[in-house]
Amino acid sequence: MSAKLIDGKAVAADVRREVAEQVGAMQQKYGRVPGLATVLVGEDPASQTYVRMKVRACEEVGMRSIRKVLPADSTQSEVEALVRDLNDDPEIHGVLVQLPLPGHLDEEAVLSSIDLTKDVDGFHPVNIGRLAMKGREPLFIPCTPHGILELLDRTGVQLEGARAVVVGRSNIVGLPVALLLMHRNATVTICHSRSRPLSAFTRQADILVAAIGRPEMITADMVKPGVVVIDVGVNRVDDPTRARGYRLVGDVAFEEVREVASAITPVPGGVGPMTIAMLLKNTLISALRSSPL
């Protein structure tokens, strides 16, 4: 039997609608709306696209957005000075530095210069540290992991007591999603490139999160019947039948795994749309802290 499709586009649209309603309420009550500043250093085309999508998403829910672009050869102090200016702007509730930064810049220092109360990407080391500690609350949860939890919750997946396996341990996806699942009382295993044999772990999963960056690596024989699969991967594979010459696939061999799983996210249209929706939600949360409804 084919798995239930977890429709990230539909869930993200719900989240955006809820955010837009609250933005409207804030405008009515205070005469102002949440503001997000994006900082892009250099001209990486993928980063430009991501920033454009974030700016457009802000506008669609009625938020204000400020877009700052610095040249690729900007110095550490120039980037940090811009972040500090944005930290001081009372109309800005979220400051987002688009990653990756050019290689000569110290990424951790730049992320640390973002005011904790405006760290809507949730990548400030203190926010990640709080996420890792028992009894501490981060001010913001990183957007992709937050979106994954939202998808699981809105699909009605039971987390408490479930055996969750996360493949990938990056700072932006694998590690924080594992921490979030643990906080929700799942029993979590984190796998990575040195986990041997990977399938021995993945086959135990009630919930499997694949955040690897390897096209269709998780195959049907690696999962147990009834598993809930969250596929975070976004990979380009050559496809001469498409006008652009490629198509996007996840880290999971979707067609075969859907025959074994009970629920699965597609790529595209699964986790991807949730990331920007949760960025909007984090920016709203930040603004509501200073102007509660």
By the rule CB under 6 A, 168 interacts with ligand NDP: yes
**Alpha-carbon span 81 to 162, nearest angstrom:** 45
Q: Which is nearer to ligand NDP, 86 or 188 (CB)?
A: 188
Per the annotation, the verdict on 54 as an active-site residue is yes
Question: Of the candidates 178, 176, 172, 182, which has an alpha carbon nearest to the alpha carbon of residue 191?
Answer: 178
Quickly count helices (H) and strands (E) in the chain.
10, 11
By the rule CB under 6 A, 218 interacts with ligand NDP: no
By the rule CB under 6 A, 264 interacts with ligand NDP: no
**Minimum distance of ligand NDP from residue 97's CB (angstroms):** 15
What is the number of alpha carbons within 13 Å of residue 47 lying toward its C-beta?
Answer: 19
107-146 footprint of ligand NDP as x/- string (CB under 6 A): -------------------------------------x--
Segment interacting with ligand NDP (CB under 6 A) among 66-74, 110-118, 158-166, 185-193: 185-193
Is there a contact between 26 and 291 (Cβ–Cβ < 8 Å)? yes
Write the CB contacts of 65 (distance below 8 Å, at least 6 apart in sequence): 35, 36, 37, 38, 54, 55, 58, 59
**Alpha-carbon span 141 to 121, nearest angstrom:** 7
Residue nearest to ligand NDP (CB): 170
Q: Which is nearer to ligand NDP, 9 or 84 (CB)?
A: 9
Distance of CA 269 to the CA centre of its chain: 14
Q: Which is nearer to ligand NDP, 63 or 166 (CB)?
A: 166
Q: Which is nearer to ligand NDP, 49 or 193 (CB)?
A: 193
234-253 footprint of ligand NDP as x/- string (CB under 6 A): xx------------------
Distance of CA 39 to the CA centre of its chain: 17
Cα dihedral value 90, 286, 169, 204, nearest 10:
-170
Residues that bind ligand NDP (CB under 6 A): 144, 167-170, 172-174, 191-195, 198, 211-214, 232-235, 271-272, 275
